[in-house]
Amino acid sequence: MSTELPPDPKESPPAPRPAPREVWKKGGRLLSVLLAVNVLLLACTLISGGAFNKVAVYDTDVFALLTTMLLLAMVWILFYLLGTARCPDGVPYRDAHAGPIWLRGGLVLFGICTLVMDVFKTGYYSSFFECQSAIKILYPLTQAVFVIVQTYFLWVSAKDCVHTHLDLTRCGLMFTLTTNLAIWMAAVVDESVHQAHSHSSSHSNASHTRLALDLERASSAVGGDCSCDTAVCQIFQQGYFYLYPFNIEYSLFASTMLYVMWKNVGRLLASSTPGHSHAPSPVSLFRETFFVGPVLGLMLFVVGLAVFIIYEVQVSGERGRTQQALVTYYSFSIVCLGLMTLVSLSGSVIYRFDRRAMDQHKNPTRTLDVALLMGAALGQYAISYYSIVAVVAGTPRDLLAGLNLAHALLMIAQHTFQNVFIIESLHRGPPSAEPHDTPPKEPCHGLTFANLDALHTLPACPPTPRLVGPSPAGPQEAASVIVVPRSHWRRRCLKDISLFLLLSNIILWIMPAFGARPHFSNTVEVDFYGYSLWAAIVNICLPFGIFYRMHAVSSLLEVYVMS
């Protein structure tokens, strides 16, 4: 007869069981991707159908679809938050690389601006409520609630590696991502239509006035048959158009964070502490720099703002003033792009002397950053190559054509070398990964300074770290003033380069995002391709170029911290 021994109270409790490995991860991902593709195609058909085809698609149909998508996405987000709160074991790991503080901070900033835009849009449509559908007022209100819910969701859950309801979580994340992309596309189309109306009102060329009339039916900004005559209505209308760039960036930022969460569903992390993440250290933008990069970047930023204001004032005036505005705009862009190209090249040269090992670990966030940088740059590549062909094969050989050609060539070079610098920086290890020459552990003993002439016959000792300033009071203070290693100058140069490129990308984002369109004011491409084709090229490719600038800013901020 066997008897069971009672458990030893001193024995340690059993270790927690690791999360089970998913049987077929690709099957769940395939299901969610198919759902997202079908929903996105439906949204794109309704949004773009009225803008580019003569079909009976009204803006109320688009608003109804987007409102329904927003409501469904909010329902799923609330389900996710309640489910993870009731089952903490459903998130056994948290990805330390996902959702960095600067990305979440940018999401909050753009979210606040989107809320202000929704207030302006609600006020605009409420100005003529009698002749408008109620869905036009319900949509911005629903979007405002969605922005608040989604921003909180991404702030607290961006690092989650979920291990419960895997297929449902993947489908929910992909549907929310698709909702953000649909909102982004609606904003881009609305802004492009607004630019077409603004251009057609200031130019009387019949070749593009017809296109503007075709686009007018799809514009949700002109208010249909209602007229915006009051001053308050016009303030609301202009206000939310100027806030569209922030709404566009918010949707793209949220989409990237949702994609990383989707990749992390069911992911097993060996080196992560369950339920905890490493808190990022505070970032001081001007710490450990030579101040050359920040100062030069701020100078370019201020000059760029002045050039942008001058361009916006003069470009809609007489022909001579428009020519002068374009020359000023292209001249500044050429100088800025040239400096950015040289600085990016210098950063790549500095990396040739960097001894830090390359980080080859799997990192979905870094993989997505690289893919977005390379993919978004294609939009500006396309515009630049179309401009090069138009200038080289076209008839005008004046100063403006030469500036346009130089601008297009430098735009290609700057995107290429900046991508090389950023991608190489993201794959570098932290500064602690750099090997250092460690001195011998045993110090030299037996040195006698009685005979100074005989010092050259003694064995060489490891060099003593040089102290700066007066003698310290204790060993801790002495350790704080030891001169930094020789490799420190490389890190300071890389920080200067990162800050300069960061500030330069911000001003190059502001100009096109807030209405600078030299592509239409300069008639070289318009005369060569025709307004309809050139407008389609710019309106499709330019949003990717604008997104590239803001995504480069977030990547350069990460490069600065890693340097």
> Tens digits of per-residue pLDDT, 225-244?
567 777 888 888 888 888 88
- Angle formed at CA 124 by CA 119 and CA 127, multiple of 5 degrees: 125
pLDDT, average across residues 342-356: 84
Residue at token pair 């040195």? 447
Strand partners, 482: 467
Please provide the average confidence, as pLDDT, over all residues in the chain: 77
- The pLDDT assigned to 281 comes to 46
pTM for the whole thing? Answer: 0.73
- CB 552, CB 349: distance < 8 Å: no
HEC sequence for 136-156: HHHHHHHHHHHHHHHHHHHHH
Q: How far apart are CA 343 and CA 293, in angstroms?
A: 9
Per-residue pLDDT tens for 531-556? 878 888 888 888 888 889 988 998 88
Per-residue pLDDT tens for 447-464? 443 443 433 333 444 444
Q: How far apart are CA 347 and CA 363, in angstroms?
A: 23
Instruction: Say how many CA atoms lie within 13 Å of 60 toward its Cβ.
Output: 9
Per-residue pLDDT tens for 389-430? 999 887 767 888 889 999 999 999 999 999 999 998 888 766
What 3-state class would DSSP assign to 246?
helix
- CB 189, CB 66: distance < 8 Å: no
- The pLDDT assigned to 116 comes to 93
